[in-house]
Structure 1
Amino acid sequence: MKKAALATLAFMVFIIIALQFPFQVRTAKAQNSFSISNFYHTIGIMRNGYVIINDTIEFSGQPPNSFLVGFPYKYGAYVQKCVAYNETTSFQVKLAVPLGDRAGFYAVNVSFPDVPPQRFTILFILSNTLLNQSETTYTLDFPLYPSLTEKVENCTVKVSLPSGAGSISVSKDDETTNKTEFYMENLPSYTHSAAKVTFSLTDSEIQILDVKELKREIAISGTSEIQCSDNYYITNKAPSNMSYVTVVLPPNASNPTAYDQFGRSISSSWTNKTAGLYRVNFDLPIRSYESSSFSIKYSLPSIVYFSAESMFNATPLLFQNVDYNVESASFTLTLPEGAKITNLENTFATGRSGISKSVFQETLTINLDYASYLESIVPPAKVLQIRYEYNPLWLAFRPTLWIWALALVGCTVAVVWKRPKAAVPVQVAAAVVAAKLHPEHVKSFVQMYEEKRKILFELDALEERVRRGKIPRRRYKVQRRTLEMRLNTLDRNLAEYKERMRKAGGLYADLMRQLEIAEIEINEADANIKSIETRHSQGTLSLEAYRKLLADYQQRKNKAQTTINGILLRLREETR
């Protein structure tokens, strides 16, 4: 009986295993029912040095419901944005995920809808920190081949450089070549490949800078004239001073004029009117890792932006031709007085929009956390069109107000003039004499303040070098003590000059007040940065919160430094 029972049990176990085995085989086959037939990997550079990686993937067989795309882990810290799409749809992307069960990679996971595509594209934007500049020579560090969990039958790589690039050299896998296109059959899974391309560039096709803020303000008059203003806030990340910058204006812009942060006109000119490239020259060059602001005012033709149905098409004005990465952008459209919006078509889902209403005017505002020409590539199509109603009688509104105001003032003057006048005793005003300030004092103050800023920059550089272990601690202490002694002497002398300028009154007193406010802003920002660095190192502040706070404090510091630059420039002009 026992033998029969054991035989029966063994037979049942065999049947269960036999039934499960084909199912497991079918499951494994279903999981691997696709292959990557083609992978097109293109690396490009935006005008402000940011890196674009354009990957197009083609599947054979049944596409998966999700797909992992990655590259070596060191590039993960530089990822600014990632989008995935095909001809009609945008796909959900999850950043910073593992690449299968392997370490040493940074990956993103693209999730597809119910019907996965046979072909799709994924775009990465990486920081311009990967691009190094030495005079006219540039070196870009980039992932040569993609990192995937499956092998690729055909992988094509193209490094797309600016048209004026020369002396091209690509270093990869312990070899150097001047080719910028590569091809590999049967690219293995989990490929870990990095390369560097070095090239020379003599024109301004690339300028390593951050566009921290871009505000575009559009005003439509009662006669449908369109006046525009682009306000930039940028940071120079090149190793040398920046004496000019090339920006992109909207299509058909005309009569542009550039202004500095004080509203004074500065030198500017077209470099390529067809492409909308406009060069702005700075009176005072922007030093490395310092910030500045400027604006450009221009006109747009009504016949291009207004349709026959009185619909204003603002789509081309939402930064769709801007070939650089903008960290924060805003678009403001101000209608003529008396106009009311009757229809608004806005598909910019990533933006925060709103309509504000004053007594006689309506204004549309759209804020974007990110802006570039990529917004016009990724579906669905972005559209911003506004229809409004307007009565031409409003054109006479302001002139009528002025006429009534002048009439009222005239009547008041006439009434007062006819009243009998009482004798008024003659009063002699005591003259207030400001303290005398020689131009040499102002010039000495500017020179000493510039020297102080130079010493502060050297102290920061010294801290960075000792942090990286490039100089011994003993030498660091000696150099720091020397710089601090020079700084203390300068602070005492500057305090005396500041007091003289306050006593001089007028413009000088006002500039000293602005200078003190800017210095307080910088000191507070530095203290806050040290505080969040300590909290982050102790683990009490998350990486995301740390980065957000650091960017905020750094922006405050940059704005204060820009204010100080303007004050010193104004003082220099007073000594001429």
Structure 2
Amino acid sequence: MSRLLLGSVGRPCLTGILSVTLAILVAAFTFFGSATSLVEAYDQNALEVHVNRIIRVEDGGAVAMNDTITISRSVNGTVNRLSRFLVGVPRSFEKNLARIYAYDGSSGLEAVRNVSLGRADICGFEIIFPNEVNLDEVETYSFTVLYVFSGLLNPETLMEFRFEFPQYPTLEYEIQSYNLTVVLPPKAKEPAGSIPFNETAEGDSLALKYSEGAVSAFAKDSAWVTFSSADFKLLDVREMTRRIVVDEWGNIAVSDRYYIINRATLAVSRLSLRVPRNATSISAQDIYGSLKVEVAEASSHVDVKVSLREDFKKGKGVKLLITYSLPSELYLEYDGWDGYTLTMEPLTYNNWWIVRRLNVVVVLPEGAEFQSSSGDLSSLERNAFQETLTFTEHNATEFDELSLDLRYKYGVLWASFRPTVWTGLLTSLLGTLLYMRRPPKPTVPTVPVPVETLRDFIKKYEEKRRIIQNIEVMERQVRRGKLPRRRYKVRRDSLERRLSRLQKDLDSLRKEVESVSRRYSELMRDLEVAEAELETVKASLERLRARYRRREISSGAYNRLLEEYNRRRERAESTIDEVILRLEEELR
């Protein structure tokens, strides 16, 4: 009874205890959540932040967004020391971000990509300060973050362009004041935008200005601007390969190879490029040949304007090759008797372009040995006595400040390597020729054969062949009983008399032709041998037929020998035809 009473009383008590515990937990989570929100709100106002943003639209389509961030300790803030600072861009602009840079005065700062800001819609970056910043000592501290975008601009019409950009900086702190300036390309006009800009002039460019008092943390709004221009080019530089060849005498030959695609609606007929200062022998060509160039010397580079063979339209590409020479006294330094340093700065002179893939290929002289370089080497190829080095960068811009500082060793005796090899080969070849040389045989002067003699010989010889052929035809007709023997004998006697007279004339003409030169003598000898072969074959055929009629040989042997004699006759006749043909060629 007591157990039942105790059990019935225990259930309500247990239920009450659980309810109280649950209420306490809910209250605790609510309190900690509120506390966390307070901490976040407190952290967002722990610093006083001011930002000046300048966006420049470069000819070619690159967009450079420069944020100058000034921070100081807020009145109620507890942050007085900083070793890093987090910045970001909206995730929708991440695919267009080519590069990010950070600067502290004149020195660069490390910018670490893909840092979490606790928001999935924001791509974060961590700016690391080399020395901890004490805001109690410096009061304010300024640094710059530079974002370089590609693909933000798009053509609206033939001469109208539109681009979208982040309207505000994306920071983990609230911004107390914000100034925005958008600088359009030179000669751009008719600007319009999604925010109320104040339009001013900066040289031959338009500047659109906008200010706002306060910007919340983690802002990710975007804005857009349109403008029109007849000269603006929207290009995609897929690849640039600069090939630097240093020969054994220190001469420097350079070739810049470009692959460029036009993204604008307006066709492009001329491109402006840049090559290093003091470049000479500048030329340009496409896959079909040379192109017209206009060269203008500047203080830090040489401007090269290339007139294209034909306009290349939207979506089309062009491949260009610019070749030139550089003076070794400006770009090649000597260090001791075998040390050399090749220096070139910067490597990209087209400051308004983003190069998707930049290859710098250096071909050292034969016998040179690579020692060190300022950049990371992508590949080193050794071919016989020569080394070829390749450096590769992706999404290269003017702000990369890429430079080449390459050191190699080169012995002075290597300059004479190839001349020595060629001299040795030439000497060996000359010695071989002298060894194999024999005293020349005396040559018999060639006397031209009179044309009439050759023509008469050919004519009479062809007549001889026709007579012999007629006699053979009559013999076959007699054997078959188609020609009476009496008529055959009369006609045969007439043809043989004519054949006898022709043979006497041919013998005389043959001697005259043979006396001209050895070549004609050999032709006459070949002709005589072939004629003798025909006579032999003819006699052999007559004996073969006689033996077959007397049944001295079987049918199989007869047919086999008959086939053999016919082949011999065909070869002899072919030789005669060839000799006559060669004689006829002499008449042409």
Same fold (TM over 0.5): yes
Tell me the equivalent position of 1:316. Answer: 345
Give deviations 1:451-481, integer Å, cap 9, x for gaps: xxxxxxxxxxxxxxxxxxxxxxxxxxxxxxx
Give deviations 1:190-237, integer Å, cap 9, x for gaps: 2624021414354xxx42111111111111122222111111112121
The question of whether the paired residues in 2 share the 8 Å contact of 1:83 and 1:124 is answered with yes
Tell me: CA distance 1:65–1:326, structure 2 relative to 1, closer, same or farther (3 Å). same
Match of 2:324 among 298, 312, 315: 298
Tell me the equivalent position of 1:372. Answer: 397
In structure 2, C-alpha distance between the alignment counterparts of 1:79 and 1:383, rounded to whole Å: 23
In structure 2, C-alpha distance between the alignment counterparts of 1:232 and 1:317, rounded to whole Å: 17
Tell me the equivalent position of 2:89. Answer: 70
Three-state SS of the structure 1 residue aligned to 2:330 is helix
Amino acid in the other structure paired with 2:356: E
Tell me the equivalent position of 1:183. Answer: 211
Alignment of 1:19-418 (within 5 A): 31-32=43-44, 34-61=46-73, 62=79, 63=82, 65-71=84-90, 74-86=92-104, 87-94=107-114, 100=119, 106-110=122-126, 112=128, 118-132=141-155, 134-162=157-185, 164-173=186-195, 177=199, 180-189=208-217, 190=219, 192-202=221-231, 206-262=232-288, 264-271=289-296, 273-274=298-299, 275-307=301-333, 309=335, 311-319=340-348, 322-341=351-370, 343-346=371-374, 348-349=375-376, 352-376=377-401, 384-415=404-435, 417-418=437-438
In structure 2, C-alpha distance between the alignment counterparts of 1:115 and 1:273, rounded to whole Å: 39
The question of whether the paired residues in 1 share the 8 Å contact of 2:340 and 2:410 is answered with no
In structure 2, C-alpha distance between the alignment counterparts of 1:238 and 1:24, rounded to whole Å: 51
Amino acid in the other structure paired with 2:221: H
In structure 2, C-alpha distance between the alignment counterparts of 1:98 and 1:340, rounded to whole Å: 48
Tell me: CA distance 1:175–1:216, structure 2 relative to 1, closer, same or farther (3 Å). closer
Tell me: CA distance 1:34–1:271, structure 2 relative to 1, closer, same or farther (3 Å). farther
Tell me: CA distance 1:45–1:415, structure 2 relative to 1, closer, same or farther (3 Å). farther
Give the structure with the higher percent strand.
Answer: 2
Give deviations 1:372-413, integer Å, cap 9, x for gaps: 21212xxxxx66423333233322222222223333333444
Give deviations 1:411-464, integer Å, cap 9, x for gaps: 44445552889xxxxxxxxxxxxxxxxxxxxxxxxxxxxxxxxxxxxxxxxxxx
Amino acid in the other structure paired with 1:126: F
1:125 Cα deviation from its structure 2 partner: 2.4
Task: Name the Cα RMSD after superposition.
Answer: 3.8
1:255 Cα deviation from its structure 2 partner: 2.3
Tell me: CA distance 1:114–1:308, structure 2 relative to 1, closer, same or farther (3 Å). closer
In structure 2, C-alpha distance between the alignment counterparts of 1:260 and 1:320, rounded to whole Å: 20
Tell me the equivalent position of 2:561. Answer: none
Three-state SS of the structure 2 residue aligned to 1:395 is helix
Amino acid in the other structure paired with 2:366: E
Tell me: CA distance 1:33–1:186, structure 2 relative to 1, closer, same or farther (3 Å). closer
In structure 1, C-alpha distance between the alignment counterparts of 2:353 and 2:368, rounded to whole Å: 34
1:298 Cα deviation from its structure 2 partner: 0.8
In structure 1, C-alpha distance between the alignment counterparts of 2:292 and 2:418, rounded to whole Å: 34
The question of whether the paired residues in 1 share the 8 Å contact of 2:332 and 2:343 is answered with no
The question of whether the paired residues in 1 share the 8 Å contact of 2:102 and 2:127 is answered with no
The question of whether the paired residues in 1 share the 8 Å contact of 2:198 and 2:209 is answered with no
Amino acid in the other structure paired with 2:313: R
In structure 2, C-alpha distance between the alignment counterparts of 1:25 and 1:294, rounded to whole Å: 59
The question of whether the paired residues in 1 share the 8 Å contact of 2:89 and 2:220 is answered with no
Tell me, which stretches of 5 or more residues in structure 2 are unaligned? Answer: 1-16, 74-78, 134-140, 201-206, 442-588
Aligned length: 393
Tell me: CA distance 1:32–1:337, structure 2 relative to 1, closer, same or farther (3 Å). same
In structure 2, C-alpha distance between the alignment counterparts of 1:140 and 1:295, rounded to whole Å: 31
In structure 2, C-alpha distance between the alignment counterparts of 1:301 and 1:165, rounded to whole Å: 37
Tell me, which stretches of 5 or more residues in structure 1 are unaligned? Answer: 1-5, 377-381, 422-576
In structure 2, C-alpha distance between the alignment counterparts of 1:417 and 1:407, rounded to whole Å: 15
In structure 2, C-alpha distance between the alignment counterparts of 1:271 and 1:139, rounded to whole Å: 32
Tell me: CA distance 1:140–1:55, structure 2 relative to 1, closer, same or farther (3 Å). same
TM-score normalised to structure 2 length: 0.58
1:296 Cα deviation from its structure 2 partner: 0.7
TM-score normalised to structure 1 length: 0.59
1:176 Cα deviation from its structure 2 partner: 8.1
In structure 2, C-alpha distance between the alignment counterparts of 1:64 and 1:37, rounded to whole Å: 16
Tell me: CA distance 1:76–1:317, structure 2 relative to 1, closer, same or farther (3 Å). closer
Q: Percent identity?
A: 22
Tell me: CA distance 1:419–1:283, structure 2 relative to 1, closer, same or farther (3 Å). farther
Tell me: CA distance 1:391–1:411, structure 2 relative to 1, closer, same or farther (3 Å). same
Give deviations 1:43-73, integer Å, cap 9, x for gaps: 11233212222222222223485523224x5
The question of whether the paired residues in 1 share the 8 Å contact of 2:262 and 2:268 is answered with yes
Three-state SS of the structure 2 residue aligned to 1:399 is helix
In structure 1, C-alpha distance between the alignment counterparts of 2:54 and 2:358, rounded to whole Å: 27
The question of whether the paired residues in 1 share the 8 Å contact of 2:49 and 2:173 is answered with no
Tell me: CA distance 1:284–1:388, structure 2 relative to 1, closer, same or farther (3 Å). same
Tell me: CA distance 1:30–1:74, structure 2 relative to 1, closer, same or farther (3 Å). closer
Tell me: CA distance 1:303–1:88, structure 2 relative to 1, closer, same or farther (3 Å). same
Give deviations 1:268-314, integer Å, cap 9, x for gaps: 12256444321122223323212221211111122222346354243
Tell me: CA distance 1:155–1:25, structure 2 relative to 1, closer, same or farther (3 Å). closer
Three-state SS of the structure 1 residue aligned to 2:233 is coil
In structure 2, C-alpha distance between the alignment counterparts of 1:218 and 1:108, rounded to whole Å: 39
Tell me: CA distance 1:317–1:407, structure 2 relative to 1, closer, same or farther (3 Å). farther
Tell me: CA distance 1:406–1:123, structure 2 relative to 1, closer, same or farther (3 Å). same
The question of whether the paired residues in 2 share the 8 Å contact of 1:70 and 1:146 is answered with yes
